[in-house]
Every structure is written in C-alpha cells, then in structure tokens.
Amino acid sequence: MDTLEQLCRIDGVSGYEGNVAELMRKELKKSCDEILTDRFGNVIGRKGKGKKKIMLAAHMDEIGLLVKHISKEGFLSFVKVGGIDDRILLDQRVVIKAKKGDVVGIIGAKPPHLQKSEDMKKVIKHEDLFIDVGAANKKAAEKLVEVGDPVIFEPCYGKLGKDLRYGKAVDNRVGCHILLEVMKQIPKNIDATVYAVGSAQEEVGLKGARVAAFKLDPDYALALDTTTAGDTPGVKETESALKIGKGPAITIMEAGGRGVITHPKVKDVIMKAAKRKKVPTQIDILEGGMTDAAIIYLTREGIPSGVISIATRYIHGSSSVFSLSDVENAIKLTIETVKSL
C-alpha cells in the first residue's frame, strides 16, 4: 500500500487527526531537518535555513460524524462534522472509531415501504437518520461505543481506468500526499526556509492553519487542497469549468472574495512556474468554499498567499475521484513555485 492510499484509508475526522498526524510525522522525518507537533495538533516540518520563510499547508482532517446519543433500542444518533450533504448519508457504511476498537455500522432510516408518498419525495435530514451497529439495546451498544466517538465513512481506495483514482477523504489527503512529495524533492540547499504544515480542523473553520501561520509568520504561503470538478452531468461550465486530468487548478478567488484573493505577486510566480515547467493548469474562481489560505493570508499583518488544488469529483462524499497526473503536475508546479518565491 503506497502512502497516498494509506492517507486516504486512515481516519482523521476534524479534531481527531491523531492517526493522520502520526503518519505525516513519520513521512516528513524522511525529508525534513526538524519536525514538531504544536499544541493545537498541527504537524510542522522544516527544511532549509534561508532568509525567506515559505509555508506550505495541507489540512489533515476529513469530514465525518460524531456519536451524539444512544437510544434504548441501541441505535446511534449523530451530528455532522464539516459540510456533508444529507442526501449522501442514507445506507452508507461507516466505522465508529471507538476506544475499544473499530465498530462497523450502517446509516439507516424508516423504510420507504412504510413512508407516505409525500415523505418519499423529501430528503431525509441527518437528525432523522441513525447508525445501526447490530446492538440489541442501549446496554449492548454502550459496550461497543460511547457518546462523542468520531465516525468515518468506510475506508476505500481504488482505480477507475488508467489515470483516475477514487478514495475516502481525498479532501484533503491528496494535498497531504503532495506536501510530502514536495518536501522530499525540494533540494536541501534551497535558499529559503520551507515549512510543511499538516493542519488540523480545516473543515470546521480553518483553525489549525491560523495557529500555525501565527507561529511561523512566513513571507509567503501556499495551500495545497482539492476543489470541485465540473465535468459531470448537471454541472454548467459557468458553475465550474474544471476537469480532472487537465492539470492542477490555480485559485484566483475563493467564496466570492470572502475567502482568499490570491496575491498578485504569488499568482504571477505560480503562472510563470507553470509555463517554465510546461505544466498544464486551470484557473479556479470559487463562489463557495474556502481553503487554509483564506485564514493564513489574514494572519498578523498579512501573508501573501495562493492555492494549488486538485479538481475532484464528488467532493465531501464517501468516495471522491481524482487524477494521478494532476497530482504529479501539482507536485512539479509547487516545487518550481517554492524555488521562485
């Protein structure tokens, strides 16, 4: 199993990133001069001793669920952690990361045969769903799980044709993989101090990146993340013209300006780096969604920041699809951008 597959399969719901952090530390030790984990849970690797400080951030956390209540019949109620569409939840297989070990469950609801016709036309809200762990009653369920246990979608990873891959937690374990590869390939004698930050709790408010950016106070920053592909039925090009396999995306603006507005100098450096290395790229202008860059560039007196993303289908789902060639090109582009900065 390669590192990318390990990253996609491992668990790390926001606030519970410990296992991902352990894997990131292990891999960063192979390339970095120094590794530390801050009090918030961010993993930070340093390479080089140059005057300019460059921060590369990829968030470690994934969307998921948290056990909220155990009924007398032994079924689990839950809350969502991060942005999850209620429409994808029904009948999903999940894994509760309990203290005593993993517990498999299935998200259930009232059967369609017992629903009224008007009810069948509605999306079932997550508060009306439950997780079935096969327990006979509350006492039996409490021997397996506790209120507050994090829940992930069933881990998966595989191929779709030659270049495409699917997996759990592609957002943003793909970014974590890119970060690790960039740090391996950046020359040791680079005339800069490069920080690799595996950030915590991005999906619930970009929290870890804020803490890390304040600590490091870099001159420049790049967020490495995923973004929404528009190459599926029902999506207009005016909504998203991004296609998987057509190169990494360079963000110009997030969330209609509420997120990062990429610094002109950083944008220029990324564009020229892509041209020099003949890396195909796409331009990403988002009306919704933000990355770690949205909070990094607001830290202290402002940090010029940009974003390099991988176009991804079915983002924030249980199985997302991306292109390996996009990943490889993102690694090349990030390395060349860091050298230029």
Q: Which residues are catalytic?
A: 202
3-class DSSP state of 282: strand
Three-state secondary structure of 128-158: HCEEECCCCCHHHHHCCCCCCCEEEECCCEE
Contact indicator for 307, 291 with CB cutoff of 8 Å: yes
Token pair in block for residue 231? 């190459």
Contact indicator for 335, 249 with CB cutoff of 8 Å: no
Residues facing 66 on adjacent strands: 79, 150
Nearest to 33 by CA among 221, 193, 258, 259: 193
Contact indicator for 52, 220 with CB cutoff of 8 Å: yes
Question: What is the distance between the alpha carbons of residues 6 and 303, in angstroms, rounded to a whole number?
Answer: 32
Token pair in block for residue 59? 């968030």
Question: What is the distance between the alpha carbons of residues 44 and 198, in angstroms, rounded to a whole number?
Answer: 6
- For tokens 């057509």, the residue is 246
* Degrees, nearest 5: CA angle 166-167-169: 135
Contact indicator for 16, 9 with CB cutoff of 8 Å: no
